[in-house]
Amino acid sequence: MNKVSLIIQREYLTRVKKKSFIIMTILTPVLLAAMIFVPGYLATKEDNQEKIIAVVDNTHITEGAIPQGTYLKFEYIDNPDVEKLKQNFEESGYYAILFIPENILVSNKVQLYSNQQTTMQVSEHISSALKNFFTQLKLKNENVPLDILERIKTSISVDTIQWTSTGEEKEGSAGLVAGIGYVSGFLMYMFIFMFGSQVMRGVMEEKTNRIVEVIVSSVRPFQLMMGKVVGIALVGLTQFVIWILLTFGIFFGAKGILLKDNGQAMTSVTQSLMDANNAGPVAAAKTGEYQKLFDDIANKFGSVNFPLIIGCFLFFFIGGYLLYASLFAAVGSAVDNETDTQQFMLPITIPIVLGLFVMINAMQTPNSTISVIFSLIPLTSPIVMMARIPYDVPTWQIVTSGLILILTFLGTIWMAAKIYRTGILMYGKKVNYAELWKWIRYKN
């Protein structure tokens, strides 16, 4: 047992001390957070470059329909010659030329000319303002009171309330639960495949370099395989725990930064949005967008059993990893180069990929027959079960799936050890499935 612990320590320390491990462990949650928060943060920043747009209105009725913004101005031009304006555009100092044709109610289109790519904010501002103007014009022509339009606007939100057997009610979120299920299942797929492949490459490297010949003179092949499998598993768990801590740290840190001086900043941003978009209700909805986002997330998180999810994730990660890592180790010991692994990798890869596809179905129908069956099959249960657990899976199904996974792992590690013992010292021979079956049947 002492020899196995030494191998585990060597495998663990060798990998966690690598610069690539440290860099990727820190950068991964940072990059994921940046992909989520940076676009939203930049979207709220004010555009303080003044833009003057010349408006050529052939309908002669829209003047004043497009409101002036803090930095976005509209100047109506009496001269309807758009081509002449385009020729003298550089000297005019205009940002763009807006042409409103006389048949706008037929074409439903206006043209915005510029010598540079205009921003989406400007286009949406013009579109929204003209849409509101001509909608009100049509209602007026139809003798429909304008206040009716405001009264018939209806927005419905769905609050999901879950009650327990004790009668306690708690607010939930279908989107949050689906997101947690998807992320958990996908991370399980990624970790099992990534760290399992590391085991295979590590075994092949030691076998190719003939290092294993020296090692097995001191330890048994089974001890070497178990030390390598467990050592890399600890590397994965270390990375996972660090990612959890960094993710929560980044989340609350970003909340503090984005909401710092919230009152003044949001007032400024809101005023800019109201000026630029002429959409009071829309702008009001955007007021405190980040505050609402973080508050909603915090409230919805209360309905999710995170201790159960994290505990199950660690259990199914360890079980699924040990199962697949033993298979990867067997493949690595049976071949001399990575090219020869292809014929053996397909039967291992298919269940993992299949589990990913079933996971997507399980997010929609977590209690369907297919979802339940594949969450019990050990080769797919780590991925599918993690997608189902946020939907309050019955305890007996989780326990049954875990027991089957453990029993399957024990059988798999026994089979892999038989292959590993023979294949780790065999060189220059092309191995097939029939040969592997002979190795498994060899007696000690």
Q: What is the pLDDT of residues 32-55, one digit of tens each?
A: 767 666 665 665 555 567 788 888
CA distance 391 to 158: 18
- Kindly list the domain boundaries of the chain, sorted by start residue: 2-38+173-441, 51-147
pLDDT value of position 360:
85
Whether the predicted pLDDT of 227 surpasses 60 = yes
Whether the predicted pLDDT of 338 surpasses 50 = yes
Residue 249, helix vs strand vs coil? helix
Structure tokens at 253: 């840190």
**172: β partners:** 160
Predicted TM-score (pTM) of the model is: 0.61
Mean pLDDT, rounded, for 358-381: 88
CA distance 376 to 397: 8
pLDDT value of position 280:
43
**51: β partners:** 72
Answer with the residue of higher pLDDT: 253 or 412.
412
Query: 157: which residues sit within 8 A by CB, 6+ positions away?
Result: none
pLDDT value of position 417:
80
Query: 194: which residues sit within 8 A by CB, 6+ positions away?
Result: 236
pLDDT value of position 270:
40
Q: Residue 259 — very low, low, confident or very high, per pLDDT cuts 50/70/90?
A: low
pLDDT value of position 401:
92
pLDDT value of position 404:
94
Q: What is the pLDDT of residues 166-196, one digit of tens each?
A: 555 555 556 666 777 777 788 888 888 888 8
Strand 72-76 to strand 160-163: parallel, antiparallel, or no bridges (unpaired)?
A: unpaired
pLDDT value of position 281:
42
pLDDT value of position 376:
92
pLDDT value of position 284:
41
Whether the predicted pLDDT of 31 surpasses 70 = yes
Beta strands in 101-192 (DSSP E): 111-113, 160-163, 169-172
Q: What is the pLDDT of residues 315-332, one digit of tens each?
A: 888 888 888 888 888 887
Mean pLDDT, rounded, for 83-98: 80
Answer with the residue of higher pLDDT: 290 or 363.
363
What is the topology classification, in CATH, of domain 51-147?
Answer: D-Maltodextrin-Binding Protein; domain 2 (3.40.190)
**DSSP H or E stretch at residue 97:** strand 96-100
- Report the percent of the chain where pLDDT is more than 90: 4
Query: 149: which residues sit within 8 A by CB, 6+ positions away?
Result: 135, 136, 139
Using an 8 Å Cβ cutoff, are 327 and 194 in contact? no
Answer with the residue of higher pLDDT: 277 or 31.
31
pLDDT value of position 254:
61
What is the total residue count of the chain?
A: 444
Helix runs in 259-380, H state only: 262-277, 280-286, 289-301, 306-334, 342-364, 369-376
Specify the range with the lowest mean pLDDT, choosing from 116-120, 264-268, 409-413.
264-268
pLDDT value of position 318:
85
Closest listed residue to residue 2, CA positions, set 217, 206, 202, 219: 219
Give CA 318 to chain center in angstroms. 22
